[in-house]
Amino acid sequence: MSHRELYCDVCEGVAPFEVPPCIDGHGTDCPELICTGCGAAVVLITAIAVPVTQLADRRRQPVRHAA
């Protein structure tokens, strides 16, 4: 398994993440990573690790229009 250290929002610090067994056939290039400390999952998007919960929070922000 591939290991890398990333910031974990649940652990509130840097933690080792690993690629879980990938059923899609990505192998070590799988975009999904699991925190080895707490089990939180992240999905890599364009080489940036963003927790899925943060993506959902961004969509809820109100749109501001110029007056």
CA 57 to CA 52: how far, in whole Å? 9
Q: Residue 63's pLDDT is what?
A: 55
Q: Residue 65 falls within a domain, yes or no? A: no
| Torsions phi, psi for 52 (to 5 deg) | -55, -35
Q: Name the average pLDDT for the chain.
A: 75
Domain count, the chain: 1
Q: Residue 25 falls within a domain, yes or no? A: yes
Q: Residue 24's pLDDT is what?
A: 82
How confident is the model over 45-66, as a mean pLDDT?
A: 55
Return the half-sphere exposure (C-beta side, CA atoms, 13 A cut-off) of residue 54.
Answer: 13
Is the alpha carbon torsion for 35, 49, 54, 8 positive or negative?
positive
Q: Residue 37 falls within a domain, yes or no? A: yes
Domain span including residue 41: 3-59
- Contact call for residues 24 and 43 (beta carbons, < 8 A): no
pLDDT above 70 (res 64) = no
